[in-house]
């Protein structure tokens, strides 16, 4: 019985050892196989064969050395290639390149930061300078060509025309005013007491001078000034306001056919416009010129300044 047990124990150990060896062998083979597959999957055709590259470099060096020997044996000035074609002295750079070398700055090569200015200055093949372009020192412009100086002069003249002219205006009551037109006073300037307005049928203060005038009568500028506003008002109709300087402003009302514009300068005696038909506020009084003068916004009697 004991002998059988010993035999069974030996068999079991042998089976376990054999099983362990088999399992280890299987695992080892599996690992080797997986490693081979992993290496193959990583090599997608982009693996560099350094040994082949080194051999190729060595072969290329030998070829260059051989070409140099051939060049020394050939006559000065020419060298014969293996295919029978004749090239210039020595091997040119084109023999080892798949493209034609080009100089930096040529119209075919663009190098950012290096050739930007050069490419702009280089003329394209076939282009010629147009008439009127910059001439070389000492040359005289040919008849019919436009000179650069002439173009610059025209540009300056055009610029001068576009420049807005400004004037410093000054006015004092001692300078006086021109009469804008001939006519009697219809309603006087009155800020001390009220006066009667026939159309309105009421008394009120009058900050302006109302001068009787026939419709169509020309209205002249009383003083030099700058037109600051052209507007329409229900009471005084179409009107023009001008700045005289030193805080003085003058307004011409009841106008039509106005021939000045905002921002323009008007000299004394120039026509501003014509008297229009009266508004409904002056229908009883009839056609007239509304003339208002102010100093820093305070009404001034213009009639006292007529000269």
pLDDT tens digits, one per residue of 227-257: 999 999 999 999 999 999 999 999 999 999 9
The closest alpha carbon to 253, from 197, 211, 194, belongs to 211
Rounded CA separation 133/146 (Å): 8
Decide: 260 and 227 in contact? Cβ < 8 Å: yes
| Both tokens assigned to 235 | 């009471």
Q: What Rg do the C-alpha atoms of the chain give, in angstroms?
A: 53
Q: Are 190 and 302 in contact (CB under 8 A)?
A: no
> How many distinct helices (H) and strands (E) make up the chain?
4, 14
pLDDT at 81 over 80: no
Q: Are the beta carbons of 73 and 67 closer than 8 angstroms?
A: no
pTM, 2 dp: 0.50
The predicted structure's pLDDT at residue 32: 82
**Residue 64 parent element (H or E):** helix 50-73
Three-class DSSP category at 124? coil
How far is residue 72's CA from residue 147's CA, in Å, rounded to a whole number?
60
* The predicted structure's pLDDT at residue 90: 45
How is residue 83 written in tokens? 């295919």
Delimit the domains of the chain by residue range: 182-301
CA distance 46 to 151: 64
Beta-ladder partners of 242: 227, 250
Cβ–Cβ under 8 Å, residues 198 and 285: yes
In this prediction, residue 1 carries a pLDDT of 61
**When comparing pLDDT for 203 and 18, which is higher?**
203
Q: Which two tokens stand for residue 190?
A: 């009155």
DSSP state of 175: G
Q: What distance in Å separates the CA atoms of residue 5 and residue 181, rounded to the nearest whole number?
A: 152
Give the pLDDT of residue 135.
Answer: 47
pLDDT recorded at residue 78: 47
Q: Give the tens place of pLDDT for each residue, 10-47.
A: 788 888 888 888 888 888 888 887 877 765 555 555 55
Q: Residue 211: beta bridge partners?
A: 185, 289
Write down the residue that tokens 């376990």 correspond to.
Answer: 16
**Mean pLDDT in residue range 79-95:** 45
Phi-psi category of 177—alpha, beta or left, where left has phi over 0 and alpha has psi -120 to 50?
beta
Joined together, the tokens standing for residue 153 give 């002069």
- Note the CATH number of domain 182-301: 2.70.70.10
Which value, to the nearest 10 degrees, does the dihedral of the CA atoms of residues 73, 77, 80, 81 take? 110
Rounded to 5 degrees, what are φ and ψ at 108? -100, -15
For residue 77, pLDDT over 90 is answered with: no
């Amino acid at each position: 019985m004991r002998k059988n047990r010993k035999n069974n124990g030996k068999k079991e150990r042998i089976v376990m050892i054999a099983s362990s060896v088999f399992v280890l062998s299987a695992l080892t083979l599996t690992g080797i196989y997986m490693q081979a597959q992993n290496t193959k999957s990583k090599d997608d055709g982009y693996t560099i064969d350094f040994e082949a590259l080194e051999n190729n470099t060595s072969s290329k060096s030998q070829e260059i050395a051989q070409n140099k020997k051939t060049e020394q044996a050939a006559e000065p000035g020419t060298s014969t290639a293996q295919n029978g074609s004749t090239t210039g002295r020595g091997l040119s750079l084109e023999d080892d390149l798949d493209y034609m070398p080009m100089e930096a700055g040529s119209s075919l090569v663009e190098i950012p930061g290096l050739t930007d200015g050069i490419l702009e200055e280089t003329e394209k093949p076939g282009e010629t300078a147009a008439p009127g372009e910059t001439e070389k020192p000492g040359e005289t412009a040919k008849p019919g060509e436009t000179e650069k100086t002439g173009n610059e002069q025209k540009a300056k003249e055009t610029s001068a025309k576009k420049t807005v002219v400004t004037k410093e205006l000054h006015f004092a009551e001692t300078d006086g005013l021109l009469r804008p037109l001939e006519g009697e006073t219809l309603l006087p300037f009155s800020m001390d007491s009220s006066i009667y307005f026939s159309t309105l049928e009421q008394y009120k203060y009058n900050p302006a001078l109302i001068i009787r005038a026939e419709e169509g009568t020309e209205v002249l500028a009383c003083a030099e000034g700058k037109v600051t506003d052209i507007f329409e008002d229900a009471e005084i109709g179409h009107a023009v306001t001008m700045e005289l300087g030193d805080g003085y402003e003058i307004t011409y009302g009841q106008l039509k056919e106005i021939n000045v514009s905002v921002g323009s300068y008007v000299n004394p005696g120039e026509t501003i416009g014509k008297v229009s038909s009266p508004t409904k506020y002056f229908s009883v009084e009839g056609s007239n010129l509304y003339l208002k003068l102010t100093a820093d916004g305070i009404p001034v009697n213009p009639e006292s300044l007529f000269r």
